[in-house]
Chains A and B, each alone.
Chain A
Amino acid sequence: MDLNYSADELAFRDQVRAWIAANLPGDLREKMETFEHLSRDDLMRWHRILARQGWVAPAWPKEWGGTGWSVVERYLFEEELGYAGCPPLIPFGLAMCAPVLLRFGTEAQKKRFLPRIYNGDDFWCQGYSEPGSGSDLASLKTKAARQGEHYVVNGQKIWTTAAHYADWIFCLVRTDPTLEKKQEGISFLLIDMKSPGITVRPLILMDGGHDVNEVFFDDVKVPAENLVHEEGKGWTVAKYLLGYERMNTGRIGESKRELAKLKKFAAARLGDVGFRDRLSRLEVELTALEITNLRFLDRMRRSGQPPGADVSMLKIKGTEIQQTLTELMMQAADPAECGEIDPLARRYCNMRKTTIYAGSNEIQRNIIAKMTLGL
């Protein structure tokens, strides 16, 4: 057992760190530093810089552009991106649609979509939640009726992050409403956002920001070739995807960076023992999360198996830490300085989403209870 990185791993980290320092554009760094809104162009500019370097999709198979890095190297890379304050890589294409296509897609689908995802030619979003189907995702009602060589889609999606930027949306739709078991009769469709009949309506969150949308489908014609896996097998695809989604929500690099910022920012408040202890406890939580994450990665390395359901705890703890960071940051701000406290208070508001999205933390507990503990 050795919790220190090997010389090779450290050399790899230094190489990544130096490359980021030399290639992250100053204006993007500045926007990240001040929590400023990132435009579609900002996000895709950074995506393309990484794509040119060959680093935008390390986890993909090498033939499609993956790097062949070890799990530890992949972790170090992600941590460095977060720690350096790089704009986020939007996961819907790279880390969600692509793994699904790699696992379930036809050769034609892979060739058509994967290179465009890799190069940042298409911006993707995810059509899962509906007004009546949040945690109970399998109850979804958006209908896709087969008519000749097309599906005709009618219904509504909600909480669709970045739909207002997106070129494509991958959707769970109900292709057979007659089946009794709600998990059956669901299919996974790829839909061009320029299709006639699609309307995107913004949902403004309490921090005033526009991240999420409602997406309406009104007799939208989708070519049948855009079906992924078999008709009625969408739930299998969705479950496969959720495992991927959870492994990626710890955001340890970002939290380390936020913590370093908070310590600097709150230096004057450290004489307050109550505040100081809350800060220390947070730092300890983050250390525990980091080592737990590494232990899970180490387990994957040794077993060669995909992550088990217990990785849900990384999502639970990671998001709790992200929220506490924004809470302490807001509390460290000068309440008499609107210019100082307002953006921090807005960020605090915004980060309440983390324990709700990607399967609420209560759903994550249900998953562990059922899958890991057998309750």
Chain B
Amino acid sequence: MNFDYNEEQQLLADSVRRFVQKDYDFERRRKIVASEHGFSPEVWSVFADMGLLGLPFSTEHGGFGGGAVDLLSVMEAFGEALVVEPYLATVGLGARFVAKAGSAQQKKAILPAVAEGKLKMAFAHAEAGARYDLAQVRAQAKKAADGWRIEGEKRAVIGAPMADKLVVSARSGAGIALFLVDREAAGVSLRPYRTLDEMRAADVVLAGVRAEALEGGLELIEEATDFATALVCAEAVGAIQYANDATLEYLKTRKQFGVPIGAFQALQHRMVDMVISGEQARSMACLACSKADAASASERKRAISAAKIKIADACRHVSQESVQLHGGMGMTEELKVSHTFRRLTMIAQQFGDADHHLERFASL
């Protein structure tokens, strides 16, 4: 039992932290969010140079063979800085499907390009009314002479507007299957929008779109979603850390009745409870990332659901309290705290809220 990073993990953690502190401050982020495409190509190429975009892929495909634990510090730093680039969509989901379920040829064509920053991806799975039920897929895949054709509609696909390729789930004769689709292909149309947490997403209509098959079906979707859940748990830890640091600083500097408001015990105890929530969230993110690659599916699911229950609660608790303790200022666009609030609100629900995971936890 140990909680150490190895030397490589520590170096990576340090360099990612340095980068976001120096080059991804709140002002920079504000400009990126306001830009036409809602992400920064420069930042993306820095990620490529740092090796972040190939982290979980094998070395033969330009990666480092990393697992969820290797991504923990990256996601934590991204959470603290509220990075909006489609890292989770591309590396945590889209390309990871290819790494897990692509043919040798598909891997060769896609993974090195992703690692070099030339290709972005997204996972188009959720459909209207499915909520968090991963098995609810109505999109249809039909075999054609030159591959597959997909008909269907996907919702809230994070990162779709800037993606080059989409991984799409659809029903074929064999049940739920996975396919690879060019975002520019004929028959793909997007209704793009900006999410509450200032990321870019789209509803995606697929009208007889040409697709290549990947291996794998529902089981892989569950595994990949658990992996991505572990990553957002780690991201939450960083965002919670920021919210707590900013709130503590505010309690020490904001004066009312002639004293810093942190002198009031009613606020001190609430701040302590936020810090405790943060520590518990960190513990559960460690658990989630340690077990995301576990061989046993039931052990993995239990750990991920336990982590997500606790982290969803912590996201809600810390985000709400950080705004409350900042008073009116916490409500404003001007402060990063309100943007952190939005990201934490979304993470609490992403890949299943606490109620969903309580249901799954009890069923295991």
B282 / chain A contacts, CB cutoff of 8 Å: 292, 295
The interface bits of chain A over 353-364 (1 if a CB of B lies within 8 angstroms of the residue's CB, else 0) are 000000000100
Q: Which of A116-124, A231-239, A367-375 contacts B (4 or more CB under 8 A)?
A: A367-375
Shortest B300–chain A CB gap in Å is 13
Interface residue SS majority, chain A: helix
| Interface presence of B350 (CB below 8 A) | no
- The answer to whether B275 and A373 have CB atoms under 8 Å apart is yes
Shortest B114–chain A CB gap in Å is 25
| Interface presence of A294 (CB below 8 A) | yes
Residue of B nearest to A294 (CB): B1
Q: Which of B59-76 contact A (CB under 8 A)?
A: 69, 72
In the docked arrangement, what's the CA distance between A294 and B282, Å? 12
Q: Which of A270-311 contact B (CB under 8 A)?
A: 270, 276-277, 280-281, 283-285, 287-289, 291-292, 294-295, 298, 302, 310
The interface bits of chain A over 1-42 (1 if a CB of B lies within 8 angstroms of the residue's CB, else 0) are 111111001000000000000000000000000000000000
In the docked arrangement, what's the CA distance between A283 and B251, Å? 33
In the docked arrangement, what's the CA distance between A368 and B274, Å? 12
Interface residue SS majority, chain B: helix
Instruction: Choose one: A270, A302, A310; the contact of B362 (CB below 8 Å).
Output: A270
* Chain B CB within 10 A, most for which of A3, A9, A298, A316: A3
B72 / chain A contacts, CB cutoff of 8 Å: 1
- The answer to whether B272 and A365 have CB atoms under 8 Å apart is yes
Given contacts A2-B1, A283-B306, contact A291 B283 (CB under 8 A): yes
In the docked arrangement, what's the CA distance between A295 and B268, Å? 24
Residue of B nearest to A297 (CB): B1
| Interface presence of B134 (CB below 8 A) | no
Given contacts A280-B361, A313-B279, A375-B251, contact A298 B1 (CB under 8 A): yes
Q: Which of B262-290 contact A (CB under 8 A)?
A: 262-263, 265, 268-269, 271-273, 275-276, 279-280, 282-284, 286-287, 289-290
- The answer to whether A375 and B362 have CB atoms under 8 Å apart is no
| Interface presence of A366 (CB below 8 A) | yes
A contacts with B, residue count (CB < 8 A): 38
- The answer to whether A281 and B358 have CB atoms under 8 Å apart is yes
A3 / chain B contacts, CB cutoff of 8 Å: 1, 3, 286-287, 290-291
A281 / chain B contacts, CB cutoff of 8 Å: 309, 358
- The answer to whether B268 and A375 have CB atoms under 8 Å apart is yes
- The answer to whether B283 and A277 have CB atoms under 8 Å apart is no
| Interface presence of B254 (CB below 8 A) | no
B289 / chain A contacts, CB cutoff of 8 Å: 1
| Interface presence of B4 (CB below 8 A) | yes
Shortest A46–chain B CB gap in Å is 28
A276 / chain B contacts, CB cutoff of 8 Å: 358, 362
In the docked arrangement, what's the CA distance between A72 and B290, Å? 18
Given contacts A291-B284, A375-B262, contact A284 B4 (CB under 8 A): no
B contacts with A, residue count (CB < 8 A): 38
In the docked arrangement, what's the CA distance between A362 and B270, Å? 11
Q: Which of B200-216 contact A (CB under 8 A)?
A: none
- The answer to whether B272 and A368 have CB atoms under 8 Å apart is yes
In the docked arrangement, what's the CA distance between A372 and B262, Å? 13
B279 / chain A contacts, CB cutoff of 8 Å: 292, 295, 310, 313
Residue of A nearest to B248 (CB): A373
Shortest A355–chain B CB gap in Å is 13
Residue of A nearest to B273 (CB): A365
Residue of A nearest to B264 (CB): A375
Shortest A178–chain B CB gap in Å is 31
- The answer to whether A284 and B1 have CB atoms under 8 Å apart is no
| Interface presence of A45 (CB below 8 A) | no
Residue of A nearest to B270 (CB): A365
In the assembled complex, 14 residue pairs joining A and B whose CB atoms fall closer than 8 Å, in A order, are A1-B289, A2-B290, A3-B291, A6-B1, A287-B310, A288-B310, A291-B284, A295-B279, A298-B1, A302-B4, A365-B272, A365-B273, A368-B272, A368-B275
New contact pairs (4) apart from A1-B4, A3-B1, CB-CB < 8 Å: A284-B310, A294-B1, A298-B3, A310-B279
| Interfacial residues, chain B to chain A (CB-CB below 8 A) | 1-5, 9, 69, 72, 248, 251-252, 262-263, 265, 268-269, 271-273, 275-276, 279-280, 282-284, 286-287, 289-291, 306, 309-310, 355, 358, 361-362
| Interfacial residues, chain A to chain B (CB-CB below 8 A) | 1-6, 9, 72, 270, 276-277, 280-281, 283-285, 287-289, 291-292, 294-295, 298, 302, 310, 313, 316-317, 362, 365-366, 368-369, 372-375
